[in-house]
Amino acid sequence: MLLEVYVVLVLNLSLFPLLGLSVPRSKRYVLNPERWPDCDLTWAFRDPFHLFDNDEDYRVAKKIVAQSIRTWEESAGGALTFTDVSPHNRQSPENLERKARIDVLFARYDHGDKESFDGRGGLVAHSGYPNDGIVHFDASENWTVSDEADPDVFVDLRYVALHEIGHALGLEHSAFPFAVMNPFYRQILF
């Protein structure tokens, strides 16, 4: 419970400048100069490369993304709103076309943007600042949503999604060791 409160506190501090507020303590975030033109954002979780083996895995991954987005929305105290415009299911032809400002998907290796994935290990995800708004996860990784998973073997989708969506909102990496936007993956947040 204490860690959850701490994560929300760090999220709230990270969002202060987006809301036009100043943080009275040392800087725990870096704000990218790119901004969304407004604070009403659409998001979609898609499977354009048909990388999910079954509907259940797709639903679990989408649920984690939705929870991460909800965490940012709640931390913003109503200043940001998000609307889900995801395809109805992973087989929908809507998966092939981007329709949202924040576009979330899993991919492998070269997948049509400026940064290819490298297979298991190394780069686990990447995202783009506003107005790019991409959030891509490397499908070659051993993803988990379990607190019991070995962090040396698995990558926690909950943390990585929260971090990468922060980039899509305009936040850069933080040097603060326990900040969600710290560039180093930390299992201890969950």
As annotated, the active-site residues are 164
Per the annotation, does 118 bind a ligand?
A: yes
- Per DSSP, the chain holds a count of helices (H) and strands (E) of 3, 9
Per the annotation, does 50 bind a ligand?
A: no
Per the annotation, does 141 bind a ligand?
A: yes
Query: What token pair was written down for 48?
Result: 């354009």
Helix axes 55-75, 157-168, angle to 10 degrees: 50
DSSP state of 145: -
User: How many whole angstroms separate alpha carbon 70 and alpha carbon 82?
Assistant: 8
Per the annotation, does 123 bind a ligand?
A: yes
Query: What token pair was written down for 143?
Result: 């993803």
* CB-based burial label for 146 (10 Å; 0-12, 13-18, 19+): exposed
| Residue type at 62 in one-letter notation | K
Per the annotation, does 1 bind a ligand?
A: no
Residues annotated in a binding site for Ca(2+): 118-119, 123, 138, 141
Residues annotated in a binding site for Zn(2+): 111, 113, 126, 136, 163, 167, 173, 181
Residues annotated in a binding site: 111, 113, 118-119, 123, 126, 136, 138, 141, 163, 167, 173, 181
